[in-house]
Amino acid sequence: MTSLAVAPATTRAPRVKETDVLGSLTKVCEAHGLGEMSRQLVSIGELVRWDMAAIEGSLSGLPLRADVVGQSAGHLVDLGGKRLRPMCVALAARLGSGFGPAAHELAVSVELVHCATLLHDDVVDMGDTRRGAPAARVVYGNAASIFAGDWLLVEALRRVASAGVPEALTLLLDIIDEMIRGEAVQLESRGRLDLPASTYFEIVEAKTAALFRWAMVAGGRAGQLSASHLNALERYGRHLGVAFQLVDDLLDYEGQDHVTGKQPFADLREGKMTYPLILALERDASLRPLLEQVVTLGADAVLEPTVGAGLLEAMQRTGAAEESRGLARERCAQAVACLDALDDSPAKDALITVAHATVHREK
Amino acid sequence: MTSLAVAPATTRAPRVKETDVLGSLTKVCEAHGLGEMSRQLVSIGELVRWDMAAIEGSLSGLPLRADVVGQSAGHLVDLGGKRLRPMCVALAARLGSGFGPAAHELAVSVELVHCATLLHDDVVDMGDTRRGAPAARVVYGNAASIFAGDWLLVEALRRVASAGVPEALTLLLDIIDEMIRGEAVQLESRGRLDLPASTYFEIVEAKTAALFRWAMVAGGRAGQLSASHLNALERYGRHLGVAFQLVDDLLDYEGQDHVTGKQPFADLREGKMTYPLILALERDASLRPLLEQVVTLGADAVLEPTVGAGLLEAMQRTGAAEESRGLARERCAQAVACLDALDDSPAKDALITVAHATVHREK
């Protein structure tokens, strides 16, 4: 009968520093000569650096048990990541009454939900690497990763319940339902080269954009924003989420391995047709045999150099890459336009910069 | 942005009738000449038959989507089962103000949580059969079962949130946390023949008894019982849960295949040492090679007849089986004693009968 007893937390040195969160984006902007955006990112840093440091502190201080399930959860959470969803919560809260304890719990929770889905995804996809390191399932096994995902979900919901922000918990349960629907559609579409673009966007809206929507709405509710402002923030989150995923899809083959932590065309090797691949095949049907060769290889197969080069060339030649990037820019612009409803403030400026930076990220 | 839209529910014919829930227990009692208990079971049937029918109606009317995840969830839920946990909720509520809509939602939820854990357990254990039928993971795949488990959990929490019973949701989150801890300890103990009995009971308390505790407390809260009565019910649930698991462990090799739906010694083949096995090995160390032969076979391996017969003989000869059964009886008696705190009522009589019937069940 120890349900309420807290097991001793394992002591873990956080591997992510608060400066990493925006640092990589700043570096990218500098490298691209985007001086203005680089300055804006520094100013976001000033606005939310302590929020993000506090969130990171909670993430590295999770009450994980020393068993294999706790280690599996800790392994993934400690690998870091962009922490973009918690930042959305923090900035949304700062649009209103500020980043208080409730917003803090919601920000931690959104990252825990994200990590829970990654743990289950890695088991489902049999992925061997995650964030440039061995996936938790490789280190601690599939079973531990399944239960670790369950635990992170429960811990997230517990924190949302404790935050006491009206509707935040029931909205999150609806959002997770939607995310699972996205997983289901993706599962049923696996290996399907003729995936319609509409199905691709259905998956992205549900699997990725839904949680961004919640991050914005939950943060906004913690900041006591009005219904119309919450509505604007939800739309911002939706566009940002879609843009984020489009860039992710491009980085799946454009990114440099040491930055993204993945081998190119991992999505395709897992049987997932992304938007740029759908466009390329639409425009050049002769690509089908090449795609068929890759689609069943598995996430961790090594691609033959000629096959990889052929695919890369086709993405450029058909204009699929450029159009995908263009759409990502467009969705970011739509995200920014949603913020028109809000008065000017440093947090609003920061959300505008986050949207632009999302398109320019390299991992 | 369809998070609040309800997908059309698939129409499914319920495979479990309300009469099945107590019918099999009644038959067992009749077969054992337990005429009095058989009569008591019939009277429970009269008390909760409509409650159980309503619960079954909700279970067969879950808003499942037609995709592979929804089908996977529906497959398991429709296979039926004893529905003992929902019955605990219903009877606990009937000890107080009665079985209203809130208790109904909690009763449905406890079964959904149970089903969620079974789906994830079957993936983890690579189990091929469940409730005498192919496991959902065999029919719809591991991936669909993982997401189906996630979905059932979310649906359960959503219903508990909507029930509006104070503390029910946060208590359930704590209970699921405890169940995951049980899974973790079991995972780390896998294949360990020298498992201490104390660790076995730690696993059982967390993995099995915790959810029975919640069923009793949540039902009692829905019935607006006092804190001292809730405390008594929680202790009842704990003892009942342990007794239930001890009988389950015995049925793992004593049960007839066509009744339990499993081949004998499945637990051992999955690397799980149960209480009777722990006792047998403690009393006869020469059993070790025989156990070692079985412990890594896998849940669905066919046991050599001589090995199975040797193990069965040892369980009888060492008295391990009889002592396990004795402990189950003892825990049931302790469960019943917890009810002393409550005034006499038909619901109390029913809970007493449920405890006794748990020891006499054959599946």
Give A232-256 pLDDT, tens digit per residue.
999 999 999 999 999 999 999 887 6
Q: CA-to-CA distance for A136 and A140, rounded, in angstroms?
A: 6
Determine the Cα–Cα distance for residues A152 and A116; give it in Å rounded to an integer. 5
**Closest by Cβ to B4, choosing from A174, A184, A238:** A174
**How close, in Å, is residue A251 to chain B by CA atoms?**
25
Percentage of chain B beyond pLDDT 90 is 71
Band the pLDDT of A363: cuts 50, 70, 90. Answer: confident
* Cβ atoms of A145 and A72 closer than 8 Å: yes
Is residue B17's pLDDT more than 50? no
Q: Is residue B22 helix, strand or coil?
A: helix
Q: Which residues contact A172 (CB under 8 A, 6 or more apart)?
A: A109, A113, A156, A157, A160, A214, A218
Q: Is the pLDDT of residue B38 over 90?
A: no
Q: Which residue has the higher pLDDT, A34 or B304?
A: B304
- Assign B114 a pLDDT band (cuts: 50, 70, 90): very high
Confirm whether A307 is domain-assigned.
yes
Which residues sit opposite B129 in a β-bridge? B134
- Please give the residue that has the higher pLDDT: either A43 or B217: B217
The answer, yes or no, to whether residue B4 has pLDDT greater than 90, is no
- As a whole-number percent, the residues of chain B with pLDDT over 70 amount to 91
Q: Inform me whether the C-beta atom of residue B242 falls under 8 Å from chain A C-beta atoms.
A: no
* B151: closest CA of chain A, how far (Å): 6
pLDDT digits (tens, 9 = 90+) for B238-268: 999 999 999 999 999 887 665 555 678 989 9
Bridging pattern class, strands A129-130 and B133-134: unpaired
3-state helix, strand, coil in chain B (%, to 5): 75, 0, 25
Distance in angstroms (rounded) separating the CA atoms of residues A62 and A51: 17
Among candidate residues B176, B234, B235, B246, the one with its CA nearest the CA of residue B206:
B176
- B66 touches A at CB < 8 Å: no
CB-based contact A144 B238, cutoff 8 Å: no
Asked if the model's pLDDT at residue A259 lies above 70, the reply is no
3 state DSSP class of A288: helix
Q: Is the pLDDT of residue B117 over 50?
A: yes
Q: Which helix (H) or strand (E) holds A64?
A: none
H/E stretch holding B130:
strand B129-130
Residue A14 pLDDT exceeds 80: no
Residue, of A156 and A12, whose pLDDT is higher = A156
Angle at B190 between CA B187 and CA B191, to 5 degrees: 170
Between A185-189, B36-40, B102-106, the lowest mean confidence (pLDDT) is in B36-40
pLDDT higher than threshold 80 for residue B14 = no
What is the length of chain B?
363
- Give chain B's domain count: 1
Q: Is residue B143 very low, low, confident or very high in pLDDT (cuts 50, 70, 90)?
A: very high
User: How high is the pLDDT of residue B128?
Assistant: 84
Q: Which residue of A has its CA nearest to B203?
A: A1
Contacts with A230 from chain B: Cβ below 8 Å: none
Six token digits for residue A174: 């609806």
Q: How far apart are CA A226 and CA A249, in angstroms?
A: 35
B331 touching chain A per CB within 8 A:
no
Q: Cα dist. B11→B14, B65, B116 in Å?
A: 9, 10, 21
Q: Give the residue carrying structure tokens 């995840």.
A: B69
Evaluate whether residue A250 is within a structural domain: yes
pLDDT of residue B11: 45
In a domain, B335, yes or no: yes
Q: Looking at residue A128, what is its pLDDT? A: 85
Q: By C-alpha distance, which of A161, A87, A128 is closest to B177?
A: A161
In a domain, B8, yes or no: no
* Mean pLDDT calculated for residue range A177-196: 97
- Interface check for B124 against chain A (CB to CB < 8 A): the answer is yes
The dihedrals phi and psi of A297, each to the nearest 5 degrees, come to -70, -30
CA distance A179 to A156: 15
Name residues 158-197 of chain B within 8 A of A (Cβ). Answer: 158, 161-162, 169-171, 173-178, 180-181, 183-185, 187-188
Nearest to A43, CA basis, from A346, A289, A256: A346
Q: What are the tokens at A355?
A: 């949207």
Please report which confidence band the pLDDT of residue A263 belongs to, taking 50, 70 and 90 as the band edges.
Answer: confident
Task: Write the single-letter amino acid at A31.
Answer: A
Does some domain include residue B85?
yes
Residue A7 contacts B where some CB pair is shorter than 8 Å: yes
At residue A94, the pLDDT reads 97
pLDDT (mean) for B172-180: 98
Whether the CB-CB separation of A199 and A312 falls below 8 Å is answered with no
Q: For position B19, what pLDDT does the model report?
A: 44
Compute the C-alpha angle B246/B249/B250, nearest 5°: 90
For chain B, give the mean pLDDT. Answer: 89
Name the residue in chain B with its Cα closest to that of A7: B181
pLDDT at B16 over 70: no
A13 within domain boundaries: no
Q: Which of B147, B213, B242 to mutate to test the interface with A (most CBs of A within 10 A)?
A: B147
Q: Which residues of B touch A144 (CB under 8 A)?
A: 184, 187
The per-residue pLDDT for range B320-333, each reduced to its tens digit, is 999 999 999 999 99
- Token code pair at residue B36: 């009095």
Query: How far is it, in rounded angstroms, from Cα B12 to Cα A127?
Result: 35
Lowest mean pLDDT among A176-185, A293-302, B89-98: A293-302
CATH of the domain at B183: 1.10.600.10
Amino acid at position A297, single letter: L
Residue A129 pLDDT exceeds 90: no
Task: Give the pLDDT mean for B354-360.
Answer: 91
Phi and psi angles of residue A241, each rounded to the nearest 5 degrees, phi first: -60, -45
pLDDT recorded at residue B300: 72
Q: Which residues contact A231 (CB under 8 A, 6 or more apart)?
A: none
Position A125 scores a pLDDT of 86
Comparing CA positions, the residue from B218, B216, B208, B154 lying closest to residue B181 is B208
What is the domain extent for residue A53?
18-360
